[in-house]
């Protein structure tokens, strides 16, 4: 049975990290083994910044500096792993960098999303080229596959939609029954015409799920720098605990509310085929992992807290003192759709609707412009949204103490409260 491993940016961030992959992969003897890898460390962020430089005439110097530093950092890893003995690999990396530069020249006047996909995809092409060479030299027979020929999508750049049937055919034809390690890129795909696309930031988890679904895999393992999923972000809560068992549905809820655990699109394809997802630490592979499957028994065992910063609160009222009835709600939500704005919280009363959204300036501004034609709109910035799944008695009061709640939404399983960020603590603590 097929297994799919996914390694994120942190697990391939430098030469040492890449060295650590070998024993993890060697320990898994069964084949086929598909290994999906992200761009090294923060490469995708760097490529996004490079893209901004490339599109701005006045930033030619910045572009060249950033390009050189990206090239140097990949070269450094190659040097550390292979020393002088890697001319052909280094030539391949150089070719990828030449292509990247060429794509920037070619697409600088293309629409941003298209330019994005033709260039940001190089992060994964570079990392997998390095890792494939490394594994082969370690005696782990590895075949490098170009995900752009296997993950077949439409042309909706930066958030491409999968053509499941073409993808299944391509993956089964190429990857079924191979007894080598099949190494490929997360996050990226391609149209049937060969144009590069991407699946959305953090999309490598989704890529792993696509491979698993198409190959009827026995398991997906996501290797992270933490031993699994937690009931709150351990960097922001000083007493977060690991969730050892969780259902697909609950994991989707957590991801949907903004927990940076797993890309929300990942769970659907796994659930359909009842493929369990295991989240393990590449630093402590022997530590008990988190396992996600169809079993819902453990979902409410621990309350979970999720924070979203940089939130904007919009209060929308009809100008004519009329009610916020269904046609008006429909109208307002329609404008969110038109402007590509997602509301993290929606609440309302007789004469107003309250929305809380991520601060994505361009989209938000055009939404507000459009609303202002027909409604009174007030806006408040620099807010933090706290979402609690399965809150226990007294927990919300303890978490809200000393802070004004600007908006709240509550149902049987979930409570959301919106606070001013400046009133929130640096480090949060889950009440006992």
Place of tokens 């055009």: 366
113 vs 348 by CB, closer to ligand ASP: 113
Task: Read off the tokens for 278.
Answer: 């295991």
Shorter beta-carbon distance to Mg ion: residue 9 or 258: 9
Nearer to ligand ASP, 113 or 431 (CB): 113
The window from 162-170, 199-207, 282-290, 320-328 that contacts ligand ASP (CB under 6 A) reads 199-207
Site for ligand ASP in 352-411 (CB under 6 A): none
DSSP codes, 362-384: HHHHHHHHHHHTTEEEEEEEEEE
> By 3-state DSSP, what share of the chain in percent is helix, strand and coil, each rounded to 5?
40, 25, 35
Our finding on whether 8 is near ligand ASP (CB under 6 A) is yes
Determine contact, residues 409/346, Cβ cutoff 8 Å.
yes
**Which residues are 356's β-sheet partners?**
313, 345
Which entry of Mg ion, ligand ASP, none binds 187, CB below 5 to 8 A by partner kind?
Answer: ligand ASP
Q: Which of 46/345 has CB closer to Mg ion?
A: 46
Q: 226 to 245, contacts with ligand ASP by CB under 6 A?
A: none
Q: Shortest approach of Mg ion to residue 202 CB, angstroms?
A: 6
Give the C-alpha separation, 250 to 257, whole Å: 11
Residue 201 CB, shortest distance to ligand ASP, in Å, is 4
Q: Is 39 in the site for ligand ASP (CB under 6 A)?
A: yes
Name the β-bridge partners of 387: 306, 416
Size of residue set near Mg ion by CB under 5 A? 3
Check binding of 9 to Mg ion (CB under 5 A): yes
- Is residue 189 close enough to count as binding ligand ASP by CB under 6 A? no
Residues 6+ positions from 405 with CB-CB distance below 8 Å: 417, 418, 419
The Cα-based distances of 316 to 50, 320, 352, 353, 362 in angstroms read 38, 12, 5, 5, 19
Q: In whole angstroms, what is the distance from residue 322 CA to residue 178 CA?
A: 66
Q: Are 289 and 228 in contact (CB under 8 A)?
A: yes
Taking CB under 6 A as the rule, does residue 339 contact ligand ASP? no
202 binds ligand ASP (CB under 6 A): yes
CB of 261 to ligand ASP, least distance (A): 12
Query: Residue 201 interacts with ligand ASP (CB under 6 A)?
Result: yes
Closest CA to 30 of 202, 177, 162: 177
- Tell me which stretch binds ligand ASP (CB under 6 A): 22-30, 77-85, 158-166, 195-203: 195-203
Query: Contacting ligand ASP (CB under 6 A), which of 3, 197, 204, 304?
Result: 204
Binding string, 117-156, against ligand ASP, x = CB under 6 A? ------x---------------------------------
How far is 344 from 353, CA to CA, in rounded Å? 13
Q: Which does 203 bind (CB under 5 to 8 A by kind): ligand ASP, Mg ion, none?
A: ligand ASP
Q: Which among Mg ion, ligand ASP, none contacts residue 186 (Cβ within 5 to 8 A by kind)?
A: ligand ASP
With a CB cutoff of 8 Å and minimum separation 6, the contacts of 298 are: 243, 244, 245, 246, 247
Site for ligand ASP contains 17 (CB under 6 A): no
- From 38-46, 80-88, 138-146, 330-338, give the range in contact with ligand ASP by CB under 6 A: 38-46
Q: DSSP secondary-structure letter at 154?
A: -
CB-based contact 258:344 (threshold 8 Å)? yes
Question: Which of 232, 149, 229, 228 has its CA nearest to residue 196?
Answer: 149
Euclidean distance between CA atoms 212 and 229, whole angstroms:
20
Choose which of 32, 203, 227, 318 interacts with ligand ASP (CB under 6 A). Answer: 203
Q: Is 9 in the site for ligand ASP (CB under 6 A)?
A: yes
Decide if residue 44 touches ligand ASP (CB under 6 A). yes
Say if residues 2 and 218 touch (Cβ distance below 8 Å): yes
Convert residues 35-64 into a mask of x (bound to Mg ion by CB under 5 A) and - (unbound).
---x--------------------------
Ramachandran assignment for 181, one of left (phi > 0), alpha (psi -120 to 50 degrees), beta (any other):
beta
| Other Cβ atoms closer than 10 A to 111 | 9
- Candidate segments 196-204, 307-315, 333-341, 360-368, binder of ligand ASP by CB under 6 A: 196-204
Q: Is 186 in the site for ligand ASP (CB under 6 A)?
A: yes
Q: In the complex, which residues of this chain contact Mg ion (CB under 5 A)?
A: 8-9, 38
- The site for ligand ASP (CB under 6 A) is made up of 8-9, 38-39, 44, 123, 186-187, 201-204
């Amino acid at each position: 049975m097929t297994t799919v491993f996914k390694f994120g940016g942190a697990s391939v961030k430098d030469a040492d990290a890449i060295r650590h992959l070998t024993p993890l992969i060697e320990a898994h003897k069964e084949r086929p083994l598909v290994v999906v890898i992200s761009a090294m460390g923060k490469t995708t962020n760097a490529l996004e910044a490079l893209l901004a430089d490339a599109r701005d005439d006045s930033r030619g110097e910045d572009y060249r500096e950033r390009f050189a530093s990206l090239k140097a950092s990949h070269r450094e890893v190659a040097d550390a792993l292979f020393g002088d003995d890697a001319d052909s690999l280094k030539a391949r990396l150089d070719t990828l960098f030449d292509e990247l530069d060429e794509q920037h020249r070619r697409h600088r006047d293309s629409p941003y999303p298209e330019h994005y996909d033709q260039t940001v995809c190089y992060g994964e092409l570079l990392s997998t080229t390095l890792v494939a060479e490394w594994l082969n030299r370690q005696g782990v027979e590895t075949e490098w596959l170009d995900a752009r020929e296997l993950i077949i999508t439409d042309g909706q750049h930066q958030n491409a939609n999968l053509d499941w049937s073409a993808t299944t055919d391509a993956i089964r034809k190429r990857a079924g029954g191979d007894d080598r390690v099949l190494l490929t890129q997360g996050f990226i795909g391609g149209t049937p015409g060969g144009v590069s696309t991407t699946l959305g930031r953090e999309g490598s988890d989704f890529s792993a799920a696509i491979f698993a679904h198409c190959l009827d895999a026995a398991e997906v393992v996501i290797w992270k720098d933490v031993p699994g999923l937690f009931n709150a972000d351990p960097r922001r809560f000083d007493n977060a605990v690991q969730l050892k068992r969780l259902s697909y549905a609950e994991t989707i809820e957590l991801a949907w509310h903004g927990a940076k655990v797993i890309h929300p699109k990942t769970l659907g394809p796994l659930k359909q085929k009842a493929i369990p997802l295991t989240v393990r630490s590449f630093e402590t592979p022997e530590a008990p992992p988190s396992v996600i499957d169809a079993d819902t028994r453990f979902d409410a065992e621990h309350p979970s807290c999720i924070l979203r910063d940089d939130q904007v609160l919009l209060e929308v009222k009809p100008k004519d003192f009329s009610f916020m009835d269904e046609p008006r709600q429909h109208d307002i939500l329609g404008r969110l759709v038109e402007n590509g704005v997602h509301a993290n919280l929606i609440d309302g009363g007789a004469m107003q609707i309250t929305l809380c959204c991520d601060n994505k300036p361009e989209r938000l501004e055009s939404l507000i412009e459009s609303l202002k034609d027909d409604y009174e709109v007030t806006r408040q910035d620099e807010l933090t949204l706290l979402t609690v799944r399965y809150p226990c008695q007294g927990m919300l009061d303890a978490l809200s103490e000393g802070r004004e709640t600007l908006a709240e939404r509550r149902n049987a399983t979930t409570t959301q409260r919106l606070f001013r960020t400046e009133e929130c603590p640096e480090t949060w603590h889950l009440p006992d």
